[in-house]
Structure 1
């Protein structure tokens, strides 16, 4: 008999006890003698028995699932390696604990609110992973009102009753600007992300501060974080009268799209244009030239967020998690500007 087919009836038969005693033991309920409990648990281990998540939910009132509701264009998710790495990190934790991830894509704020209400009302998830925090994020009071749990990626403005998983990007952005200035760049542009999202705004603000402190004037072109808008912003910068010698992009997919635009125009990278990202992914090490960026570790983000949320759901322990700061990773896409 394979472990996947073992039932509590099989455990009861092998341990020489009733099915009810097995059920009480496996659900950690009182009423079972210590020696009997130990014999049942040992038998279950030997047979390779594992509980079915749905059956556990009936007795423990848990769904054994976490929710991730994403309000983004599907195309953005498709081309952004952060989400693939983040979900892989979440799944690594959940699969080891017998939990699952419920992923829902929504087109707008109204559909997003309905998704949270439906998942909470149907008790399909035990809590939510919150990405892409907004300046005024209605999801936090909504989840609190629904009586559910959550963990956010980043610290919300105005505080939150839920734990946050954070990574400090400020030192990495400072080091990145210092790296470019040290190479001799004086015209440095930033293709920023969607500033409705806190991480897009905060990265742009830190970039501006670092450039001002270097005695330079920053150039900002806002986008929605998509490669398409990253490419369009690059074209606009290269067509301008005072073309930058270095461009810092709000994420790596936009940086790679910008490199494509520069290659098409015959520019030498990095001799005529240095390019950097801000949220390092593995793909950046394989493009030509390999991409200078900040180390982000999206899988580590996912592991930390899932672990913190399960700790909150299972043990009632609301603990913030501070991940190691994002560090500068210098590769081949940055060099002194032409003429230096």
Structure 2
């Protein structure tokens, strides 16, 4: 393997002392402008980069930020939301030459342990925190550690950390407006993981919109899953097999919606002939499925860019604040239609 270039290599090539190289590369006085320029040119030719671990130990930034996902690993590979979110984050970080340190763990306690280790080792300058909980220990921990952070998906209300958020309540209201306008009065929301703040907001919004329209709360409800296609399909089979089944299903991601359509087909229930389907967060999967899925559309990569920009701002000294991302909008497609007669 090729050896990484060192300060000694640069000094030898440039014909100067190692201390002169250190002064030049760390922007310290002690060398002329011509010598500084020559040293930097040689460093670039050799492909030299500063050692992030050594920089961190000396009190300088590590040049990296962290992202930990405490979700079942098998649910991540098929869900487009996180792929788009990370692509937006990476776009901003790359432009600022900041690395993204990514880790998947099996629970919130393990996630907190990663933050403690990263802080102790000075591995990252800050973190992006996803999936805010209704009872979340992470803001208090990160504040106590003094580790800069941005919550992705939190409302920021009363939190000590910066956050970027989307209006889940308004988004659910759009969905209910659409389905109610078509004539649906039996709606089941196939939700994601219980305990997540955005799951709670969507469930609460569905209930509020149902009450506002005088709908029977027994006929408008939510069931929770793990976001996977397996649980999405299983939940679909259960609710469609019940007496007085729903005429419309709202899924918390695209993968569950597609799995739900397949499960309905197995039962001989046509979409949208006998059941209408709405997916949260549009994707290519929603647009190539037959019938094409009515979905909530937003710029998820843009949401990631906003989060990364906010974290870089925090690292530069900006005070904590809450920033709202693009509001999701519903795009009706062929998977929703007026309900058929009861079956």
TM-score, reference length from structure 2 = 0.85
Q: Secondary structure at the match of 2:77?
A: helix
Q: Secondary structure at the match of 1:89?
A: helix
Which of residues 222, 230, 238 in structure 2 aligns to 1:236?
238
In the aligned structure 2, how far is the partner of 1:209 from the partner of 1:32?
69
User: Is residue 296 of structure 1 aligned with residue 294 of structure 2?
Assistant: no
Whether the 8 Å CA contact 2:57–2:122 is kept in 1: the answer is: no
Deviation, structure 1 residue 64: 1.2
Deviation, structure 1 residue 259: 1.0
**Closer/same/farther in 2, CA of residues 48 and 320 from structure 1, 3 Å limit:** farther
**Closer/same/farther in 2, CA of residues 316 and 265 from structure 1, 3 Å limit:** same
Aligned to 2:333: 331
In the aligned structure 1, how far is the partner of 2:46 from the partner of 2:300?
33
**Closer/same/farther in 2, CA of residues 207 and 44 from structure 1, 3 Å limit:** farther
Deviation, structure 1 residue 254: 1.6
Aligned to 2:223: 221
Aligned to 2:86: 87
Aligned to 2:49: 51
Whether the 8 Å CA contact 1:136–1:157 is kept in 2: the answer is: no
Structural mapping, 1:137-176, within 5 Å: 137-155=136-154, 159-176=158-175
Aligned to 1:247: 249
Structural mapping, 1:10-89, within 5 Å: 20-21=19-20, 23-30=22-29, 36=34, 39=37, 43=41, 51-52=49-50, 54=52, 57=56, 61-89=60-88
User: Is residue 136 of structure 1 aligned with residue 152 of structure 2?
Assistant: no
Deviation, structure 1 residue 130: 0.7
Deviation, structure 1 residue 68: 1.4
Aligned to 1:177: 176
CA RMSD between the two structures: 3.0
Spell out, residue by residue over 1:12-56, the C-alpha distance to the aligned partner (whole angstroms, 9 max, x if none). Answer: 7998876645544443445566x5599569957996967345265
In the aligned structure 2, how far is the partner of 1:95 from the partner of 1:48?
22
Q: Secondary structure at the match of 2:134?
A: coil
Whether the 8 Å CA contact 2:155–2:322 is kept in 1: the answer is: no
Deviation, structure 1 residue 9: 7.5
User: Is residue 287 of structure 1 aligned with residue 289 of structure 2?
Assistant: yes
User: Is residue 121 of structure 1 aligned with residue 120 of structure 2?
Assistant: yes
TM-score, reference length from structure 1 = 0.86
How many pairs does the alignment contain?
335
Whether the 8 Å CA contact 2:155–2:164 is kept in 1: the answer is: no
In the aligned structure 1, how far is the partner of 2:158 from the partner of 2:36?
45
- 304-313 or 50-59: bigger deviation: 50-59
Spell out, residue by residue over 1:53-95, the C-alpha distance to the aligned partner (whole angstroms, 9 max, x if none). Answer: 5265466622211111221111122222211111222222222
Aligned to 2:309: 307
In the aligned structure 2, how far is the partner of 1:93 from the partner of 1:170?
28
Q: Secondary structure at the match of 2:76?
A: helix
**Closer/same/farther in 2, CA of residues 45 and 209 from structure 1, 3 Å limit:** farther
In the aligned structure 2, how far is the partner of 1:109 from the partner of 1:152?
14
Whether the 8 Å CA contact 2:193–2:225 is kept in 1: the answer is: yes
